[in-house]
Amino acid sequence: MSSYPRLYIGPLIVCNNLMISDDYITETYCSNNKCRKYYVNTEDKFCSECGKKIESEKLSTTKPTVDSFIITDETKEAFICVDIENKELNIDILIPNKKIKEITRETNFLPNNQDFCCIWTTFNIDEEKLNMCYQFKEEIEIIKKLYGENNVTISWGIVNYFI
């Protein structure tokens, strides 16, 4: 299976995907810092190396509020969530998966296959954002319900991603 880069230029949605506590896991380990099995997870009651009693610690795990993989299904394939490397930002970038009818130029490119030049103004950018909002009004409402109204921003940008 191979992947190739795509370049998207146009209106998009930025969603704050807050992290929430998911569950607790219990780590059990030897607490003797001089032992070779120090902090090695084990199910034993006593360390097989030094004989000390095994300690346990509850750790919380977190997960994003919205599973970004469901966006395509929930929006009837109108939007896809672009996988970005820097997940520490806790944002999801959603780009239209369908052509925006009012935008006559291309929005998706294979970066190495074609030349592209376009002059944008704030008017062009605002008009493209409005066109996306108008065409995908119902889908954007679904996205706002999933992420929360205050966590969704209609924006415009350039996104390099891999398929």
Sort residue 48 into left (φ over 0), alpha (ψ -120 to 50) or beta: alpha
pLDDT at position 113, please?
A: 65
Regarding whether 52 and 71 lie in a shared domain, the answer is no
Alpha-carbon separation of residue 40 from 37, 49, 52, 56 (angstroms) = 5, 11, 13, 11
Task: Please compute Rg for the chain using Cα positions.
Answer: 23
Regarding whether 129 and 103 lie in a shared domain, the answer is yes
Q: What is the DSSP string of 42-82?
A: ---SB-TTT-PBEEEEEEEEEEESS-GGGHHHHTTTSEEEE
Regarding whether 73 and 135 lie in a shared domain, the answer is yes
Regarding whether 148 and 128 lie in a shared domain, the answer is yes
Regarding whether 40 and 86 lie in a shared domain, the answer is no
pLDDT at position 28, please?
A: 77
Number of structural domains in the chain? 2
Regarding whether 150 and 70 lie in a shared domain, the answer is yes
Regarding whether 128 and 53 lie in a shared domain, the answer is no
Regarding whether 150 and 87 lie in a shared domain, the answer is yes
Does the pTM exceed 0.85?
no
Regarding whether 95 and 77 lie in a shared domain, the answer is yes
CA pair distance 27, 59, nearest whole angstrom: 7
Regarding whether 71 and 48 lie in a shared domain, the answer is no
Regarding whether 49 and 71 lie in a shared domain, the answer is no
Helix, strand or coil, per DSSP, at residue 159: strand
Regarding whether 14 and 75 lie in a shared domain, the answer is yes
Q: Which residues contact 95 (CB under 8 A, 6 or more apart)?
A: 8, 10, 12, 13, 79, 80, 82, 159
Instruction: Name the one residue in this structure whose structure tokens are 């807050």.
Output: 18
Average pLDDT per run of 10 along the chain, which is 163 residues long?
77 88 73 79 82 78 79 92 74 91 82 72 93 97 94 93 78
Instruction: Identify the domain containing residue 49 by its residue range.
Output: 22-62
